[in-house]
Amino acid sequence: MIPVLFIVIPLVSGLALFFFKNEKAGRSWALFSSMITLVVALLGLTLHPDNKYLQFSADWLGSLGSSFSVQVDGMGQILCLLTAVSYPVIFIATWENQYQKSNNFFGLMLLAQAGLMGVFVAMDALLFYFFWELALIPMYFLSSQWGGEKRVQATFKFFIYTFLGSVLMLAGIIYLYTQTPDHSFGIASFYKLGMLLPTPTQNWIFWLFFAAFAIKMPIFPFHTWQPDLYEQSNTSTTMVLSGVMVKMGVFACIRWLLPVVSIASYQWGDLVTSLAVTGILYASLVAIQQDDLKRLVAYSSIAHIGLMCATIFSETSIGFQGVMIQMFNHGINIIGLWIVVDMIERKCATRKISELGGLAQKAPSLAIFALIMALANIALPLTNAFIGEFMMFNGIFSSKITHYNVIFTVLAAISIILAAIYILNMIRKVFYGNSNAVTAAAQDITWNQKLVLSVLVILIIWLGVYPDSLLNLTHDLTDTILKKSDVLPLLMKH
């Protein structure tokens, strides 16, 4: 029942919002709905992944071999929790932001949440594709109608780019569907089919799928839509995009790519990892050069996601678990950073690092929260990101399926130095030094912002000290996926 609630609650309340007249009521309704979802997610967290309340199946386009089957497994629990946590946080943190037609804004936000939840719980390829698009379409309206001056241009690029990927993926899904013996879109049939497909077929199917995921994550060199979009769209939208939506790509690689076309994943693994590692270094170096806070965070996100991608294709148990927990961590941390950036922008009316300075005198609480978020972003131990990155680096290093594991690890790990450079320089230029004309009038943050930032900080520290609370969820799942994507017996057969 729970996965259905995940989809239905935001969907229904989001649709209802379009009929609200009162803006204040609409806002509260959105917050209320997201809180309910959060409660459901927390309830779901207490259940074992095999529990029947975490599964649901109903007929849906039965003649096509597709069914409405949804399930929250370990990885789903983590990502649904992330989606559920991030929404109230975003709503509260940006409570004072004014939007034109705010009810439409919040309605679309909730629709996007329904789509995201759907992606994370879908166990049917057609359903997965449906939600994949359902999440995209509200995002298109959100970022094209509320945001900076060049938002339409940036959104157009984003939309065309991701849509291209989606179409390729759809082609791949349909091809696989026609090949399944029982003509089914079910995930089990896809997994079974994966073992039968000849290698050349796997190879091009791999690229059809990976195109969609690589663009979504995004992986170098498919990333150029991201900084533009993050810079131009409104901060709440950016938080959803970077906090939750980019995880769709990473998630989909684990669920729909590796276990399905495992031989191709193995064969292209080195290439993809090289791209990812190049992207990590590239994005980190470019981030050092950025003067716009939003672009800086965007590039830092590209680097972090690149690391997740590289880890996925190293196919190790510790690496997979690292990725799963890091998806949550990265979501929390980057939403925290966006909140800080948003507040800086609202207080000083600029995001240019070169124009800011000395904010720590004017807004000490903001400075402390910003510093903690920044430190979490550079994976300092006892923050959550350290756990994830440590496990991921470890995964790449101990990978058995590539010969270049040491080189990949060393190159990727250089990013921890580069990350320290760009993050600390940003902190220094924005918060330290003497305040100037731009920052002179800035005031410290309000209680609701302190509240959400404190919640995030508590999450960051909690998962940094006792990550086992989430790691426990993914043990079994990791083993299953690894077993499915183990290529050696398959290679023998072909």
Partner 1 sequence: MQNALQIVWLVPFFPLIGFLINGLFRKQLSKSLIAVLGSGTVLVSFVISIWIFLQVKNGNSHVAEYFNFISAGPFKIPFAFQIDALSSLFLLIITGVGFIIHVYSTSYMKEETAEHYGRYFSYLNLFIFSMLLLVMGANYVIMFIGWEGVGLCSYLLIGYWFKNTEYNKAANKAFIMNRIGDLGFLIALFLIIAKVGSVSFADVFSKASTLSTTNITIITLLLFVGATGKSAQIPLYTWLPDAMAGPTPVSALIHAATMVTAGIYMIARSNVLYSLAPVSQNVVAIIGLATAILAATIAMKQNDIKKVLAYSTVSQLGYMFLALGVGAYTAGVFHVMTHAFFKALLFLGAGSVIHAMGGEQDIRKMGGLKGKLKITYFTFLIGCIAISGIPPFSGFFSKDAILLSAFGHNKILYGIALFGALLTAFYMFRLLFLTFNGSFRGTDEQQHHLHESPAGMTIPLIILAILAFAGGFVGIPELFMKGGDKLSEFLSPVIPVQQGDGVSSSTEMMLMVISTVLVLLVIIYTWFRFRKYQAVEEKGLGKFLANKWYVDELYEQIIVKPLNKLGAFLNNIIERSVIDALVNGVGKLVNYGSRQVRLLQSGQVGSYVLLMVLSMLLVFVIQFFLRK
Non-local (6+) Cβ contacts of 432 within 8 A are: 357, 358, 360
Out of 139, 467, 481, 485, point to the residue binding partner 1 (CB under 8 A): 467
58 lies in the site for partner 1, by CB under 8 A: no
Between residues 161 and 251, which has the closer beta carbon with respect to partner 1? 161
**CB 334, min distance to partner 1, A:** 20
**CB 66, min distance to partner 1, A:** 33
Residues 6-35 that bind partner 1 (CB under 8 A): none
Q: Name the region of 349 (left: φ>0; alpha: ψ -120 to 50; beta: rest).
A: left
Cα distances (angstroms) measured from residue 493 to each of 39, 167, 402, 487: 48, 32, 20, 10
Residues 109-168 that bind partner 1 (CB under 8 A): 157, 160-161
**CB 430, min distance to partner 1, A:** 11
449, burial (CB in 10 Å: exposed 0-12, middle 13-18, buried 19+): buried
380 lies in the site for partner 1, by CB under 8 A: yes
Out of 190, 225, 268, 338, point to the residue binding partner 1 (CB under 8 A): 225
384 lies in the site for partner 1, by CB under 8 A: no
**CB 169, min distance to partner 1, A:** 19
278 lies in the site for partner 1, by CB under 8 A: no
Out of 103, 397, 449, 490, point to the residue binding partner 1 (CB under 8 A): 397
User: What is the distance between the alpha carbons of residues 420 and 377, in angstroms, rounded to a whole number?
Assistant: 9
Q: What is the dihedral of CA 270, 273, 275, 278, to 10 degrees?
A: -120
Count the site residues for partner 1 by CB under 8 A: 55
221 lies in the site for partner 1, by CB under 8 A: yes
249 lies in the site for partner 1, by CB under 8 A: no
404 lies in the site for partner 1, by CB under 8 A: no
Between residues 117 and 401, which has the closer beta carbon with respect to partner 1? 401
Out of 70, 136, 250, 391, point to the residue binding partner 1 (CB under 8 A): 391
- Choose one: 30-38, 142-150, 425-433, 438-446; the region binding partner 1 (CB under 8 A): 425-433
- Choose one: 25-33, 177-185, 249-257, 416-424; the region binding partner 1 (CB under 8 A): 416-424
Residue labelled with tokens 């927390």: 42
468 lies in the site for partner 1, by CB under 8 A: yes
Cβ atoms of 230 and 150 within 8 Å: the answer is no
Out of 35, 137, 407, 420, point to the residue binding partner 1 (CB under 8 A): 420
**CB 383, min distance to partner 1, A:** 10
462 lies in the site for partner 1, by CB under 8 A: no
Between residues 30 and 375, which has the closer beta carbon with respect to partner 1? 375
Cβ atoms of 444 and 365 within 8 Å: the answer is yes
Out of 111, 318, 334, 460, point to the residue binding partner 1 (CB under 8 A): 318
Out of 35, 45, 195, 413, point to the residue binding partner 1 (CB under 8 A): 413
213 lies in the site for partner 1, by CB under 8 A: no
Q: Report the amino acid identity of residue 72.
A: V
421 lies in the site for partner 1, by CB under 8 A: yes
Between residues 483 and 493, which has the closer beta carbon with respect to partner 1? 483
Kindly write out the interface string for residues 157-176 of this chain, putting x where it contacts partner 1 by CB under 8 A and - elsewhere: x--xx---------------
Which is nearest to 260 in space by CA: 487, 12, 11, 20?
A: 487
- Choose one: 56-64, 138-146, 250-258, 430-438; the region binding partner 1 (CB under 8 A): 430-438
Out of 300, 321, 329, 333, point to the residue binding partner 1 (CB under 8 A): 321
352 lies in the site for partner 1, by CB under 8 A: no
36 lies in the site for partner 1, by CB under 8 A: no
Structure tokens at 430: 């924005």
413, burial (CB in 10 Å: exposed 0-12, middle 13-18, buried 19+): middle
Between residues 5 and 385, which has the closer beta carbon with respect to partner 1? 385
369 lies in the site for partner 1, by CB under 8 A: no
Cβ atoms of 202 and 172 within 8 Å: the answer is no
User: What is the distance between the alpha carbons of residues 112 and 11, in angstroms, rounded to a whole number?
Assistant: 8
Kindly write out the interface string for residues 281-310 of this chain, putting x where it contacts partner 1 by CB under 8 A and - elsewhere: -x--xx-xxx--------------------
User: What is the distance between the alpha carbons of residues 482 and 340, in angstroms, rounded to a whole number?
Assistant: 38
Which residues of this protein are in contact with partner 1, per CB under 8 A?
Answer: 157, 160-161, 221, 223-225, 282, 285-286, 288-290, 317-318, 321-322, 358, 360-361, 364, 375, 380-382, 386-387, 390-391, 393-394, 397-398, 409-410, 413-414, 416-417, 420-421, 424-425, 428, 431-434, 466-468, 471, 475, 478-479
